[in-house]
Amino acid sequence: MTEMNVIPAKCLPTLLAACTLLWAGIAQADTPLTIRGVIVASPCGIAEGRVITGAFGEVRTDQIDGTYRTVTLNYSMTCPSSRAVRMRVVGTGASNDNDVLAIDGNDGVGIALKRGGQAWPINTWFNFNSSSPPTLQAVLVRLPQEQIKIGAFRTAASLVLEYQ
């Protein structure tokens, strides 16, 4: 008579797991692996999130000539390292001069911008290094063929900074 070895019941789960691993090793499948991400530059900040203001105070209409009462726009810019950036002011141009900011309800006057003392048309990019940000200024300009209205005025625009 032949002798038969009996596997104890407590070893049966281990034996099944070993057979499953052996079977899984034989059946293979190749699956592509995709790894994605975005590498970004450390952000620069402008004015620490505060509103940049320029106050002209009271100005007589006969003094509005594009040079009188030039106001420096105080702002700060912080970047984690020196880098090439570009900047522009996004705003609505005056009806008869798209290079200057319009003043709502007053077609006779606009606000011209300067960077480093030079004219800077609105909605126009300029390049510089973040380690030496330009001085920004605003000045009232008389617009041709329009009557200046007396009274308080204000306008708004956005200063945009972009990495290069």
122, burial (CB in 10 Å: exposed 0-12, middle 13-18, buried 19+)? buried
Structure confidence by residue, pLDDT tens digits, 3-14: 656 666 565 566
Structure confidence by residue, pLDDT tens digits, 19-61: 555 555 556 778 888 888 887 777 888 888 789 999 999 999 9
Measured distance CA(141)–CA(76) in Å, rounded: 26
CA neighbours closer than 13 Å in the CB half-sphere of residue 90: 7
Measured distance CA(75)–CA(157) in Å, rounded: 14
Which domains does the chain carry? 54-163 (2.60.40.1090)
Handedness of CA 78, 80, 81, 84 (dihedral sign): negative
Structure confidence by residue, pLDDT tens digits, 63-103: 999 998 899 999 998 888 888 999 999 999 998 999 999 99
Cβ pair 14, 121 in contact under 8 A:
no
